[in-house]
Chain A
Amino acid sequence: MDNRKQNKLVNFITNPKYLMVLATIGIFLVIYIAGIIMYGDKGFATLRTFMMLFVDNAYIGISAVGMTMVLITGGIDLSVAAVASLTGMFIAYGTTVLNIHPLICMAFAILVGVTLGLAMGAMVTYLKIPPFVATLTGMFLARGVCSLISRDSISIDNELIDKMAGWKMYFMTFSDGEWVKVKPVSYINLNVVLFIGMIIIGTIILQKTRFGRNVYAVGGNEQSARLMGLPVDRTKMIVYGFNGFCSALAGIAYALYVKSGWNLALQGGELDVISAAVIGGVLLSGGVGYMIGTFFGVLLKAVIPSLITFNGTLSSWWGKIITGALVLLFVALQQLVMSGRLFKKKKPSASHQKE
């Protein structure tokens, strides 16, 4: 019985499907523990530092949920940061300049995000335009419209937004007969709830619904998926639409985080999102990837600048270089997995069949 369990475990670890995710989690743990050993005395080991990884990167994580799905279909979306920035601009301009209720602004932003996502999806799906080009167009459009609205940064001055941004759930501890806040103060805010919620929703969609499995099939082999009778076009459209939704939601999270809208906000943010997904083990050629991997990809990418801050002497630019190196490492690892060294084909021999 024990033996069988062990076998199952070995099977699980050697299964190339999970290997990339395990690698991400492993590297995250190694770096995090190394950080605790090196800068534990400076407070790296605290719950606050850990929770700030979530608070400071929630918007990247939310966008990465949609991006993961797009990447699994074998596509890519370069417009996410521009759409998020546009969302921020809608909220800032709408609430502060036009005095529109913030919830209406948000709803409008989400509507625009989904529409743009669907439009790009249609270009990719029906016009067979490479996703890279189609979404580049979307990115230009979103950034351009954003600049047309305002060239200056608009800070948001709205009661409800303040309330939403200010909502915090503190971690408490029981001491001296009463509940007190953990020191140093650590909390989760609305963005973190959105981030974790989206990761869970994304996981359920991908693993537990037919639609989610179709996403994998489309990314694995679109032609086959079509011949197997799967709704390929519809799947791709929904994925791009959903990604537009995620981009807009990330924009809302970002607006709550910085409480302003700016046409140049999040420049290059699409790369942060894509590299987080890649570090999380999502294969850019499509067909392989897990939400949980992306989740740890975001954390792994977040822990590096955090470490650099704790170091204090290193230039913050090393963060970019290390991220680049991590992407290289993971891509190399993926290549190794896919090249067949671990994915070795098994031809069942005669003895195999007699078992």
Chain B
Amino acid sequence: MKKSRESIFKNKLVLAVIAELLILVVAGILEPGFFHVEYNATTGMLYGSLVDIVNRSAEITIIAMGMTMVIALGGTDISVGALVAVSGAFALKLLRWDVTLYPTPGDYTIAPFFLVILVPLLICTAMGLFNGVLIGKFKLQPIIATLILMVAGRGIAQIATNGKQFTTGYTPYRFIGQGSLLGLPFPIIITIVICAAVMIFVRKTAFGTFVESVGVNPNASRVTGLKSDRIIIIVYTLTGFLSGVAGLIYSSRISSCDSNNAGVNYEMDAILAVVLGGTSMTGGKFSLAGTIVGSLIIRTITTLVYYFGITSESIMAFKAVIIAVVIIFQSEPVGKWLATRQARKQKAGELRG
């Protein structure tokens, strides 16, 4: 009983990994150079599709860490995409301050660099806190509470930059998204550090269990002495912070801010990563490792689809098919049907044996 139960849960992770490997094999067959990784001595960086996949999945992976727990709490956060835009907009605002005074982009910053990093992160954390308070304290439905910032967030980002797109050439800032450390693109390093930090925070303390408990039954958790509202607030605030980090990486990658297009559909991708990773949308048990694999799957498919020469917008159709398959298999009635089928098979096997 014990083993089978745990193996089912682990199976989801295993399934996700197998899916990822399968997609990679397909990619390898279609594009022989797919697994080729090259070290460029002059830039000191590794190049290749695999590195690229991990690198490009950074933003979604980072956001999805928070989203996993949001979903485990039985909620959703659809404001993360808007927060990505907010973060980039404020960073660029601080780098350039006023384009009429400093019309040409260059290797300079107006505000001190630490503020360029800190202020956007603080603003996004505060916005996450706003979400958390609405949901935790005022018991709003997560989707509607985060809808508020999803609508208003981009407006705030636009107003911060007066509706203009700033560009920057400031080297330390560009390093965040374009630099490299130990041969790896810097976003990968950030992702590893953040994933490790979140996983340690969640699994080496009782926080993970508390999140699962509140996700399953908030009332009972409160009566058992858990401060449900505080846990909800922490999770949404963390997600806000992580969206801010993702926003910095994204805007650094493109060396500018784009309040209209930065982070569009990130909430969808993050949720998809979580669901692919085996965490159920109805809340409860969650798996951070699964989420990381889920995020990689999304990016691998995207990369693969590019090889077919299909446009980025149409990738959505493929994503749709994949989610449909995954959620249909995850759904309760199908699960039950599969279980009874399996049981029947086993029974037949026993009879024959």
Contacts and interface: CB of A to CB of B under 8 A. Distances in A.
Asked if A pairs with B, the answer is: yes
Contact of B319 (A144, A328, A331): A144
A148 B320 CA distance: 13
B147 interface: yes
B140 interface: yes
Contact of A274 (B76, B147, B332): B147
Contacts of A319: 155
Interface residues of B, number: 47
Given A317-B158, A324-B155, A284 B316 contact: no
A145 interface: yes
A133 interface: yes
A129 B282 CA distance: 9
Main secondary structure of the interface of A (DSSP, over half): helix
Interface of A: 76, 123, 126-130, 132-134, 136-141, 143-148, 151, 263-264, 267, 271, 274-275, 278, 284-285, 315, 317-321, 323-325, 327-328, 331-332, 335
B193 interface: no
Contacts of A332: 138
A141 B327 contact: no
Contact of B268 (A136, A141, A274): A136
A325 B153 CA distance: 11
Main SS of the interface on chain B?
Answer: helix
Given A126-B333, A138-B320, A318-B159, A147 B313 contact: yes
A30 B251 CA distance: 41
B150 A133 contact: no
Contacts of A127: 327-328, 331-334
Contacts of B334: 127
B313 A129 contact: no
A129 B331 contact: yes
Contact of A325 (B152, B159, B162, B313): B152
Q: Which of A129, A134, A141, A275 has the most CB of B within 10 A?
A: A129
B319 A140 contact: yes
B156 to A, nearest CB: 6
B321 interface: yes
A254 to B, nearest CB: 18
Contacts of B152: 320-321, 323-325
Contact of A335 (B140, B156, B319, B333): B140
20 contacts: A123-B328, A127-B331, A128-B332, A129-B328, A133-B271, A140-B323, A141-B317, A143-B316, A144-B319, A148-B314, A264-B313, A275-B147, A278-B144, A278-B147, A318-B155, A324-B152, A324-B155, A327-B151, A328-B148, A331-B140
Interface of B: 76, 134, 138-141, 143-145, 147-156, 158-159, 162-163, 264, 268, 271, 275, 281-282, 311, 313-321, 323-324, 327-328, 331-334
A184 B315 CA distance: 47
- Which A-B residue pairs are the 9 nearest by beta carbons? A144-B317, A324-B152, A320-B155, A140-B320, A147-B313, A141-B320, A144-B316, A127-B331, A317-B158
A144 B159 CA distance: 31
Contacts of B149: 324
A247 to B, nearest CB: 16
B313 A143 contact: yes
Contacts of B141: 284-285
Given A136-B271, A140-B319, A331-B144, A271 B150 contact: yes
Contacts of A143: 313, 316-317
A167 B351 CA distance: 75
A315 B154 CA distance: 13
Nearest to B152: A324
A133 B320 contact: no
B155 A321 contact: yes
Nearest to B159: A317
Q: Which of B139, B152, B268, B313 has the most CB of A within 10 A?
A: B152
Contact of B281 (A132, A138, A139, A274): A132
Contacts of A275: 147, 151
Contacts of B320: 137-141, 144
A76 B317 contact: no
A317 B281 CA distance: 33
A320 B144 contact: no
Contacts of B155: 317-321, 324
Given A151-B311, A274-B147, A275-B151, A145 B317 contact: yes
A144 B318 contact: yes
Contact of B143 (A76, A129, A145, A151): A76
